[in-house]
Structure 1
Amino acid sequence: MKYQVELQIRAESDSNRIYLWLRSRSETGAGSWFSSLLRRLKKLESDAPNCPRAKEADRFADDLRETYFKTRYGKRYRLVFTILGTQVRVLRIRAPGQRLLRDGGL
């Protein structure tokens, strides 16, 4: 089954914040990060149900799932999402070292 992947407002904000932070250090690095993000979002169209539950899923009512993508230097970023019918809603993008989500964090 093919899913429609959508970034929710907070995930878009996360994406913009991370991209701008990376770009302030390296335009090439920011572009590479964004390409990695897009590749992972594309892959979610087909493999979302195979992704594990998010570590903090028990704290929230929704069935939260997670997946990771890496930069070329191995930094891992985490996508937190939920599946509703044929939609994958990416709720947050978490950078390395960020804490687990808490109440109000979605």
Structure 2
Amino acid sequence: MRYRVKLSQRAERQLLEAVEWYEVNAPQFSESWYRSILQSIATLETDPHRLPHAREDHHLQMELRELHFGYRKRMTHRILFVVRDDEVLIRSI
């Protein structure tokens, strides 16, 4: 089964803020970082349930999961998402 992946407005804003940070602070990595995080997000199209529940999950009334994203051999971001039917909604990056 393939899932449709959508970003919440908050996640879109956070992604753009991260890209802007890279453009200012590490412009040589900006484009490749952006491509890499989009590739990681795209993996959610297949079997998002393979990823663990986020530590915040037990405080919420939803199954919040997380995808760790690393660039240059270290984790730099957590992508928090929920799965509903055939859709993955990214809540936060």
Indicate whether the TM-score tops 0.5.
yes
TM-score computed with the length of structure 2 as normaliser: 0.92
Aligned residue pairs, count: 93
Deviation at 1:72, TM superposition (A): 2.3
Counterpart CA distance in 1 for 2:73 and 2:83 is 30
2:5 corresponds to: 5
- Alpha-carbon shift at residue 21 of structure 1 (Å): 1.0
Other-structure match for 2:21: 21
2:74 corresponds in structure 1 to 74
Residue identity over aligned pairs, in percent, reads 29
Structure 2: state its 5+ residue gaps.
none
Match of 1:102?
A: none
Q: Indicate the structure with greater helix content.
A: 2
Match of 1:98 in 2: none
Q: Helix, strand or coil: the match of 1:67?
A: strand
Measured on the aligned residues, the alpha-carbon RMSD in Å equals 1.2
Structure with larger RCO (C-alpha < 8 A, sep 6+): 2
TM-score with structure 1 length normalisation? 0.81
**Superposed structure 1 runs of 4+ greater than 6 Å apart:** none
